[in-house]
Amino acid sequence: VQKWTENRGRNISASLYAPKLVNVSVTPSGEIVEGNSVTLTCSSDANPAAKYTWYKGNNNKPLSVDTQLVFTSIQRSESGQYRCRAYNRVGATSDTISIHVKLSVSPSNEISEGSSVTLTCSSDAKPTANHFWYKDDDQTPLSNERQLSITSIQSFDSGEYVCAAENYLGRMTSEFIFIVVISLLLTPLHDQKGVSLCVSNISRE
């Protein structure tokens, strides 16, 4: 009986192992835009089950002691490298992931001619940044405010818009946002029943 107990103890010890195959993932995948909700998830294979701690960069102050690190409204200042440490009583291992948070600019896509449009630029900076809006290759700012408002947009307003945020420590620019203004043209068509109107959408750049 004693011999069986010793063998059983060895088998139990042999089945215990430190975390391995540690994996860190980000949801949603793809481009991360400021203000969106982002979740980092850490998983591993371990026995007994691993516990998790999240850190940013070389900072040893824990951000979370859960399998997930959640940002409800992520900011540009939260760009960087994140490390997940998976551990149990047998051992520990880590994995890292880098995220880059982009400036948010809205709206996008097609806009009907005559609509009122507001482009909003946001940034996270200390001291507070100044914002400038540019169109196409023109180096003269359209606006030096966070918002660029066009009360009655026209076809000639189509083009690429970009926001720049700057303070005395540096300058960052957003991704280009391409606006297409849709013009509604009315063309008369004649038939035996009288006159009807054909409405067509034309995109002008």
Q: What is the pTM of this model?
A: 0.52
CATH match of 2-102 with 2.60.40.10: yes
Q: Which residues share a beta bridge with 17?
A: 47
Q: What is the pLDDT along the chain (205 residues), one digit of tens a residue?
A: 333 444 444 555 568 999 998 999 999 888 788 888 999 999 999 999 999 999 999 899 999 999 999 999 998 789 899 999 999 999 999 999 999 887 665 555 577 888 888 888 877 778 888 899 999 888 899 989 888 888 888 888 888 888 888 888 888 888 777 788 877 653 333 333 333 232 233 333 3
The reply to whether 2-102 and 104-204 are identical in fold is yes
What distance in Å separates the CA atoms of residue 69 and residue 26, rounded to the nearest whole number? 10
CATH match of 104-204 with 2.60.40.10: yes
Q: Could you state, in order of their start, the residue ranges of all structural domains in the chain?
A: 2-102, 104-204
Which of 22, 166, 167, 25 has the alpha carbon at shortest distance from 99? Answer: 25
